[in-house]
Amino acid sequence: MNQEFEAIAQLFQTRTPFRHPTTSLGNGDDASVHHIPEGMELVVSTDIAVEGVHWPQDMRLDIAGSRAVNAALSDLAAMGAVPAWIWLAISAKDKQSLAQMSDGIVQTCLTHNVELAGGDTVSAPINSINVTVGGLLSKDTAMTRSAAKVNDEAWILGDSGLSAAGLKQWLSGQQHGSFVPHFQMITPLYKQGAALRELGIQSCIDISDGLLQDLGHISKASQVCIQIDINLVKQLDSYQQLQAVFNTEETLKMMLSGGEDFALCFTAPATKYTSLIELGAKHIGFCCKGNGVQLMQGEKIIDYNIKGYDHFG
């Protein structure tokens, strides 16, 4: 057998037996085939993770594999979709690197009952993992960036700043720092995303490049101004955890621009307040007429020079 095909069979196909009930033809052919149940829609997203860009070169590759899949699944969470399949395109420096990445990928598929429906591998000078994810949701219910409305409230569900703190500790040589697990282990909040969608929430995004920058995408797509109250941000659990280690300036910078926590940030009418509190969401601001994202302290606009991650900046 061709060595590439043998590696794919040993490292992936035989170790991921789960098949989604809507799969007609799974991994092993030129393409996978799936049927979409009546009244449902297919949600698809693609994400890429590159060694030295998305994970440090001295981080274990099984952790890198897990992070890549979980980060991609988070995009489905932001839409309110339930994950069903992943497809992979992996470049690996050598067979050992491929095997190590596969360990994290396989375990993540098993954890979330997601089908590995196909993919490809290639030998290359750098390790990278491209993940395409597919999920399902009820027709015409997807949460989008363009559905925020004036007078909506802004909310966050999940942590903000803890992953950035973990990366900061790692890069400073504190590889066993208290926040490092938050950077290494991504948890896609797809169950919470589906719960938000079922509550009727219409506008949502996952925080990958920083709270303010990602909210800017909602602001632009919805043509509203989003005002974030710094006093409400300081009431978040993440703020209290970070303040135990970092000063106020560092804490706020990580929370507002750190990224890769993959929390869900969304807008909702005030009538949803009680239900959202019960889900564990935290109120952090408001939508009003205008454009852009404003950082507020009471009625005062705070000048800030905080930018999220930009691959080409």
For 115-144, what is the mean pLDDT?
97
Q: Which of 289, 118, 295 is closest to 219 using CA atoms?
A: 289
Q: Write down the pLDDT at residue 3.
A: 65
Residue 228, CB-side half-sphere exposure with 13 Å CA sphere: 28
Sign, Cα dihedral of 4, 6, 11, 17? positive
Position 197 in a domain: yes
Residues 115 and 198 both lie in one domain: no
Q: Are residues 225 and 157 in the same domain?
A: yes
Q: Is residue 309 part of a domain?
A: no
Same domain, 283 and 157: yes
What is the per-residue pLDDT for 1? 47
Q: Which of 4-8, 36-40, 118-122 has the least mean pLDDT?
A: 4-8
Q: What are 105's two structure tokens? A: 């990928």
Q: DSSP state, 291?
A: S
Identify the pLDDT of residue 312: 43
Share of the chain above pLDDT 90, in %: 89
Which residues span the domain enclosing 42? 3-138
Residue 12 binned pLDDT confidence (cut-offs 50, 70, 90): confident
pLDDT at 298: 86
How many domains is the chain partitioned into structurally?
Answer: 2
Q: What's the N-to-C CA distance of the chain in angstroms? A: 45
| 215 and 257 co-located in one domain | yes
Domain co-membership, 69 together with 34: yes
The CATH number given to whatever domain includes residue 34 is: 3.30.1330.10
Tell me the average pLDDT across 126-144. Answer: 98
133 is a domain residue: yes
Are 72 and 109 part of one and the same domain?
A: yes
Residues 84, 123 within the same domain: yes
Q: For residue 100, what are the CA distances in angstroms to 9, 42, 58, 96, 271?
A: 15, 31, 13, 6, 48
Q: Please check whether residues 160 and 46 belong to one and the same domain.
A: no
82-128: per-residue pLDDT in tens? 999 999 999 999 999 999 999 999 999 999 999 999 999 999 999 99
State residue 170's pLDDT score. Answer: 96
DSSP labels, 218-261: HHHHHT-EEEEEHHHHTTSHHHHHHHTTS-HHHHHHHHHH---S
Q: Would you say residue 313 lies in a domain?
A: no
Distance of CA 146 to the CA centre of its chain: 18
Q: What average pLDDT does range 154-166 have in this prediction? A: 97
235 Cα distance to chain centroid: 23
| Whether 214 and 165 share a structural domain | yes
158 domain-assigned:
yes
Question: Quick check: 313 pLDDT over 70?
Answer: no
Q: What is the rounded distance in angstroms from the CA atom of residue 144 to the CA atom of residue 148? A: 9
Say if residue 185 is in the same domain as residue 70: no
Same domain, 10 and 89: yes
Q: Please enumerate in sequence order all residues whose Cβ is within 8 A of that of 209, keeping only pairs 6 or more positions apart, or say none.
A: 259, 308, 309, 310
Out of 2-6, 140-144, 308-312, pick the least confident. Answer: 308-312
d(CA 234, CA 239): 6
Q: Which of 121, 141, 151 is nearest to 202 (CA)?
A: 141
Which stretches within the chain are classed as H helix? 3-11, 61-79, 95-112, 162-171, 180-184, 190-198, 211-222, 230-233, 237-243, 248-257, 273-279
Contact at 8 Å (CB) between 97 and 128? Answer: no
Average pLDDT, the chain: 94
**What is d(CA 203, CA 233) in angstroms, rounded to the nearest whole number?**
20
If asked whether residues 119 and 240 sit together in one domain, one would say no
Whether 148 is in a domain gets the answer no
> Between the CA of residue 9 and those of 27, 61, 107, 116, 178, what are the distances in Å?
10, 19, 16, 12, 38
For residue 270, pLDDT over 50 is answered with: yes
Question: What per-residue confidence (pLDDT) applies to 306?
Answer: 66
Residues 6+ apart with CB under 8 A from 300: none
On whether residue 164 sits in a domain, the answer given is yes
Lowest mean pLDDT among 20-29, 226-235, 281-290: 20-29
Q: Dump pLDDT digits (tens) for 227-248.
A: 999 999 999 999 999 999 999 9
